[in-house]
């Protein structure tokens, strides 16, 4: 099974778990896109749900599929948030933000009673940190935050597009991708990053996910926090 096939499989499986009347948070990224498309098919077939997305891109995708897309102001409580991840570690500790939406993702998941993670098996790791940890930063604070994260040994690098222009999040902030390597104590790393003034949010999602659906050659398996 290719990685794309695994993403599609797990996206479909997650879409099957959504029930009539649910308030659903839609994630961001290629796996979340597969999920949203599969959910869109169910909506076309008559499923009645209301949704809030964690990015402008997923909001537009939901709208294009005829889904009822709302803001958190209109729908501040959700039954479930369904999204991908860049890494899934022990106890469902996650690295997220590869797609740049970590801030809104954390906000939308905090509004949800349950967080269901959808990944292909390549994302499951024994220790977090192979994937560079994204940190969202207020623009004017960049030099200060960059220096401080470097002093913490986190090796930050400003995210850029392929053409060299600086990447901006939906909230108009910068992202520093930290090639910090193995993160044996994610709580400690999260606390260190959070203590830096000018950091808006980091991509460590700890004690947030309830269940992960993992797609691989043997089908879809379930991990619990």
Catalytically active residues are 105
Q: What's the CA gap between 214 and 86, in Å, rounded?
A: 12
State the CB neighbour count (10 A cutoff) for residue 130: 15
Q: How far is the CB of 124 from ligand 5RP (least distance, A)?
A: 13
In the bound state with ligand 5RP, the residue whose beta carbon lies nearer, of 105 and 177, is 105
Considering only the stretches 13-21, 38-46, 65-73, 93-101, report the one whose residues sit in contact with ligand 5RP under the rule CB under 6 A: 93-101
- CA 71, distance to chain mean position in Å, is 18
Among 25, 62, 100, 156, interactor with ligand 5RP by CB under 6 A: 100
- Pick 148 or 214: Cβ nearer ligand 5RP: 214
Q: Which is nearer to ligand 5RP, 30 or 211 (CB)?
A: 30
CA distance linking residue 100 with residue 78, whole number of Å: 22
- Sole window of 71-79, 91-99, 108-116, 152-160 interacting with ligand 5RP (rule: CB under 6 A): 91-99
Among 89, 98, 129, 198, binds ligand 5RP (CB under 6 A): 98
CB-based burial, 44-82: b 16+ in 10 Å, e otherwise: eeebebbbbbbbebbbebbeebebebbeeeebeebbbbb
Question: Which of 43, 49, 41 minimizes the C-alpha distance to 20?
Answer: 49
5-34 residues in contact with ligand 5RP (CB under 6 A) are: 27-32
Is the Cβ of residue 62 or residue 97 nearer to ligand 5RP in the bound state? Answer: 97
Q: Is 177 in the site for ligand 5RP (CB under 6 A)?
A: no
Residue 55: enclosing H or E segment and its boundaries? none
The interface with ligand 5RP within residues 68-87 (CB under 6 A) comprises 83-86
Q: Contact at 8 Å (CB) between 11 and 30?
A: no
Question: Which position among 24, 36, 102, 204 is part of the footprint of ligand 5RP (CB under 6 A)?
Answer: 102
* Residue 14, phi then psi, degrees to nearest 5: -65, -40
Residues of this chain that interact with ligand 5RP (CB under 6 A) are 27-32, 83-86, 96-102, 105
């Amino acid at each position: 099974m290719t990685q794309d096939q695994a993403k599609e499989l797990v996206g479909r499986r997650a879409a099957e778990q959504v029930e009539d009347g649910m308030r659903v948070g839609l994630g961001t990224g290629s796996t979340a896109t597969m999920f949203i498309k599969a959910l869109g098919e169910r909506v076309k077939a008559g499923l009645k749900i209301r949704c809030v997305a964690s990015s402008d891109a997923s909001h537009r995708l939901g709208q294009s599929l005829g889904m009822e897309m709302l803001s958190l102001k209109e729908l501040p409580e959700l039954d479930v948030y369904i999204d991908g991840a860049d890494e899934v570690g022990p106890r469902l500790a996650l690295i997220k933000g590869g797609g740049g939406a970590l801030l809104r993702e954390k906000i939308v998941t905090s509004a949800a009673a349950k967080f269901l993670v959808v990944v292909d098996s390549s994302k499951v790791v024994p220790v977090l940190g192979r994937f560079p940890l994204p940190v969202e930063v207020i623009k004017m604070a960049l030099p200060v935050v960059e220096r401080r994260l470097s002093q913490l040994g986190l090796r930050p690098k400003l995210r850029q597009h392929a053409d060299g222009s600086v990447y901006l999040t939906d909230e108009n902030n910068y992202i520093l991708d930290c090639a910090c390597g193995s993160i044996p104590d994610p709580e400690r790393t999260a606390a260190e990053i959070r203590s830096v003034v000018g950091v808006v949010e980091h991509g460590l999602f700890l004690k947030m996910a309830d269940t992960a659906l993992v797609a691989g050659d043997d089908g879809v398996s379930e991990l619990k926090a």
